[in-house]
């Protein structure tokens, strides 16, 4: 299935957040710390996007436990960077990522390394994997 890079999830933060939440939790968030489904979305401007577990009382976001954790890069840029790296036949340099995403080289380097690290474990296994 071909993905259109003009899709709103690659350019709109709210749509990117909704897409990642739907992909990760299928509409029913659960705590990444204890696994409990008893969570609630926190309210207010400062707590936007945060969830609170009713069992372990830990706070978390959709980024918790992913390569996007502890990053200030917007989610829509993460999605676009991941798509570009996965769709690129010959790989993607940080310099090219910098130009395509409109971020600094340091940010592009950070994104590339985190995504490559995540993809490293996803290598195919078996007689043709290598």
C-alpha span between 105 and 111 (Å, rounded):
10
Number of domains present in the structure of the chain: 2
Per-residue model confidence as pLDDT tens digits over 68-101: 999 999 999 999 999 999 998 888 999 999 999 9
Residue 100 lies in a domain: yes
Range of the domain at 111: 66-119
Residues 80 and 107 placed together within one structural domain of the fold:
yes
Distance from the first to the final alpha carbon of the chain: 24
With beta carbons less than 8 A apart as the criterion, state whether 68 and 107 touch. no
What's the whole-number mean pLDDT along residues 24-47? Answer: 91
What's the whole-number mean pLDDT along residues 21-42? Answer: 92
**pTM of the predicted model, to two decimals?**
0.85
With beta carbons less than 8 A apart as the criterion, state whether 94 and 108 touch. yes
Per-residue model confidence as pLDDT tens digits over 107-119: 999 999 999 999 8
């Amino acid at each position: 299935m071909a993905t259109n890079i003009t899709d709103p999830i690659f350019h709109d933060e709210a749509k990117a957040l909704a897409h990642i939440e739907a992909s990760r939790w299928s509409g029913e968030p659960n705590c990444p710390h204890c696994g409990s489904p008893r969570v609630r979305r926190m309210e207010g401007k400062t707590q936007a996007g945060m969830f609170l577990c009713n069992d372990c009382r830990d706070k978390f976001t959709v980024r918790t436990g992913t390569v996007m954790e502890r990053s200030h890069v917007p989610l829509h840029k993460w999605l676009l960077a991941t798509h570009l790296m996965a769709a690129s036949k010959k790989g993607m340099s940080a310099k090219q990522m910098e130009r395509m995403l409109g971020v600094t080289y340091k940010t592009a380097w950070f994104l590339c390394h985190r995504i490559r690290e995540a993809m490293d474990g996803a290598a195919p296994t078996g007689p043709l994997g290598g």
